[in-house]
Chain A
Amino acid sequence: MNFDDTPQEAAFRETARKWIEANAPKELHAELSKSSLGRIRLANHDIVDVGKAWQKKKFEGNWACLHWPREYGGRGATPIERVIWQQEEGVYGKLTQPFQIGEGMCGPTVMAFGSEDAKRRYLPKLASGEEIWCQLFSEPSAGSDVAGLRTRAEKKGDNWVVNGQKIWTSGAHYSDYGLLIARTDPNVPKHKGLTMFFLDMKSPGVEVRPIKQANGMQEFNEVYFTDVVIPDSQRLGAVGDGWSVSLTTLMNERMSIGARLATGVPEMFEFCSNLMLEDGLAIDDPAVRSKLASWAAKSSGLKYTSYRTISALSKGERPGPENSIGKLVSGMMLQDIATYAMDLQGAAGVLTGNDEETVQGQFQQMLLSSPSMRIAGGTDEILRNIIAERVLGLPGDIRVDKDVPYNKIPTKGR
Chain B
Amino acid sequence: MNFDFSDDQKQLRDQARKFLAEKCSPKAVRVVLDGKAPYDKELWKGLAEMGFLGVAIPEEFGGAGAGHLELCVIAEEMGRANAPVPFSSTVYLAAEALLIAGSDAQKKKWLPAIASGEAIGTLALFEGKGNPSPKNVKLTAANGVLNGVKKPVADGAIADFAVVAARTGSNGRDGDISLFLVDLKAGGVEVKNLTNLDPTRGQAEITFKDCKAEPLGAAGEGWSILTQVLDRAAVLCAFEQVGGADRALEMGRDYALDRIAFGRQIGSFQAVKHMLADMYVSATLARSNSYYGAWALSTNAAELPEAAAAARISATQAFQHCAKNNIQVHGGMGFTWEFDCHMYYRRANTMALGLGSLSYWEDQLIDRMRKKNAA
Contacts and interface: CB of A to CB of B under 8 A. Distances in A.
Interface of A: 1-5, 9, 269, 273, 283, 286, 289-290, 292-294, 296-298, 300-305, 307-308, 310-312, 314-315, 322, 325, 328-329, 381, 383-385, 387-389, 391-398
Nearest first, the 4 A-B pairs at minimum CB distance are A301-B285, A293-B362, A388-B273, A304-B288
Contacts of B280: 325, 387, 391-392
Interface string B269-308: 0101110111011001111110110110010000000000
B257 interface: yes
Contacts of A394: 253, 256-257, 265, 267-268, 272-273, 276
B146 to A, nearest CB: 33
Given A308-B4, A308-B291, A312-B4, A329 B281 contact: yes
B246 to A, nearest CB: 12
Contacts of A395: 257, 264-265, 267-268
10 contacts: A297-B310, A297-B365, A314-B2, A322-B284, A385-B274, A388-B276, A388-B277, A389-B273, A391-B277, A395-B257
Contacts of A294: 313, 317, 362
Nearest to B295: A1
A398 B266 CA distance: 12
A250 B274 CA distance: 21
A3 B298 CA distance: 13
B69 interface: yes
Contact of B2 (A273, A301, A315, A396): A315
A104 to B, nearest CB: 22
Residue of A2, A283, A314, A383 with most partner-chain B CB within 10 A: A2
Contacts of B219: none
B43 interface: no
A308 B287 CA distance: 10
Contacts of B190: none
A300 B291 CA distance: 11
Interface residues of B, number: 49
**Secondary structure class of chain A's binding surface, majority of residues:** helix
B370 interface: yes
Contacts of B337: none
**Secondary structure class of chain B's binding surface, majority of residues:** helix
Contacts of A389: 273
A1 B6 contact: yes
Nearest to B314: A297
Contacts of B273: 384-385, 388-389, 392, 394
B277 A311 contact: no
Given A1-B294, A3-B3, A294-B317, A325 B284 contact: yes
Contact of B285 (A293, A297, A314): A297
Interface in B225-284: 249, 253, 256-257, 264-265, 267-268, 270, 272-274, 276-278, 280-281, 284
A384 B2 contact: no
B362 A302 contact: no
Contact of A300 (B267, B277, B310): B310
B64 interface: no
Contact of A384 (B1, B69, B278, B286): B278
B281 A393 contact: no
A293 B312 CA distance: 11
Contacts of A296: 310, 365-366, 369
A297 B289 contact: yes
B14 interface: no
B363 A286 contact: yes
B313 A286 contact: no
Contact of A307 (B267, B276, B288, B361): B288
B1 A3 contact: yes
B5 interface: yes
Contact of A304 (B256, B270, B292, B363): B292
